[in-house]
Chain A
């Protein structure tokens, strides 16, 4: 199996970033997910194995170690609510309840229509703006349970192609860990971190 021409070109560029092919496993796994709308499939892992010279079992062993490689599928919008210590102290548990209730998707699951996945996560480095939430790893801080509900409704109604952290913060956020720089236009096109070399960023429309 090979990927689309554009994805294969991207894979070659990723491999060229490392002195040893094996090191490209993690970024290539993200690429494989992006290719399949967020899911890490057997085929995807096999292609990563071919490209890195590893066995399929070795690639699976790596993929299963890390929580961000979603082998059981993931929704179009992955809503991650921090319930680690600082966010818990500031109401993160209530935010998680609100998200689960508003989307109808319990913690750790994906809705039947594939629109949302909901998960509680450990600290995402936004404790000064607790409670913190990420949508497709784009950050919004200082979220109240009410704002979390509005956020989920907005995603369901607008279905944005690209999710941009600054945009979420402006619409649904509050207290931030620190002042952010100028508005960013780049964001995530799926439930994979938006990072240029992975080819997973999109522009706000």
Chain B
């Protein structure tokens, strides 16, 4: 069982979040090693690791770091906004091993020439915010932060920022606007944050899980990380399992297993001995999978070639008792609620999708409703392709289309039955 991220909290459940335990288990040794390296050599190790971002877009971390523009000052911002329905992995990393993340922040900041880093934590996560703040306080007291990091002369400050309850602030440019004290509305890209980010300065935005891997990569070398897991999906990945599985929870896994193993072995199978109906493989934004996908591999690229995405690693399992119209409505309601409203297709389209699904679920649907849903969806994301076509500033709008195309592809009969039977045929 390969462990990079969860080893400390599994071995020391009572105090894995403390500095004393962190140091006693080898913590901050990678930082000392990093401070003795040339910053560009650290970037090279992260590139060699082939670590792909864990926040949803799976962009190679080292490649992104390579885009950082030379202007000063530069910033590192950790995305701890974790709000994609089904996702709860970053919360565990923040609560149970905050020093691992913090050491990753310090090493990354040193490598990137950053002297002020931020951790943007969603507002509904006060406990994770308290834990990372406590770790930061301990690190200042121990000399790992401040004017002279571990006696190296390098200086770094870290500020924890609480969000205000808006999923869209997980999108990196909306997050930066929010951190600047503005409405959390995504910016048009380019310019990308690496060139013009926080306060229009070069900025790297990375996910909590991505950066929590950095101490291990520095300690063991990029090649060692690159030796774990299949090509394109190196290292370990945290998967959040929820819904109708017997054993929900976060699992640190080397990718490459089949979905059958993921759901039946790791997740313990379906509750109450029920049959599997569908699952969301990568958070609410991802198109759904069904039985025919059970023997396809769980890797970043295989999920993509099967026309969905690994996203944040959130797997939501639905059994045979689930009304698919209701499930789709719940997901669409989320995106409709969280739309920032800048783009008409997203703002209006998600509202209409919600209205049509609401009447279908209530038994007031019409024969044209499925076509209507697809038509509205086509206006949000032209062509209904995967990866989605975009008419909007950010991918939130197209995300609301995923449950609609999934319904049309796999559960057309169930939608039609809602119309003809005046409500859910399962009820």
Residues of A within 8 A of B (CB): 17-20, 22-27, 29-30, 52, 54, 61-62, 65-69, 80, 83-86, 88-90, 121-130, 134, 137-139, 165, 175, 177-182, 184, 186, 188, 193-198, 201
Contact = CB atoms under 8 A, between A and B. Distances in A.
B327 A181 contact: no
9 contacts: A22-B182, A65-B183, A130-B242, A178-B250, A182-B14, A184-B127, A193-B125, A196-B130, A201-B130
Given A20-B199, A128-B242, A181-B95, A85 B334 contact: yes
Nearest to A83: B330
B338 A122 contact: yes
Closest 9 CB pairs of A and B: A66-B164, A25-B181, A127-B242, A68-B165, A193-B126, A123-B85, A67-B165, A22-B181, A86-B242
Contacts of A137: 123-124, 126
Contacts of A84: 85, 284, 330, 334
B135 interface: no
B322 interface: yes
Nearest to A26: B164
B13 A179 contact: yes
Interface stretch (B155-163, B212-220, B225-233, B387-395): B155-163
Interface of B: 13-17, 73, 82-88, 90-92, 95-96, 116, 122-127, 129-130, 133-134, 159-167, 178-185, 199, 240-244, 248-250, 280, 284, 314, 316, 318, 322, 326-327, 330-331, 334, 337-338, 340
B95 A127 contact: no
A85 B123 contact: no
Contact of A89 (B126, B159, B322): B322
A47 to B, nearest CB: 15
B199 A19 contact: yes
A177 to B, nearest CB: 5
A27 B161 contact: yes
Contacts of A86: 85-86, 242-243, 316
B425 to A, nearest CB: 18
Contacts of B242: 86, 89, 127-128, 130
B180 A22 contact: yes
A26 B181 contact: yes
B85 A127 contact: yes
B144 to A, nearest CB: 18
Most central of B85, B90, B123, B124 by chain A CB within 10 Å = B124
Contact of B162 (A88, A130, A195): A195
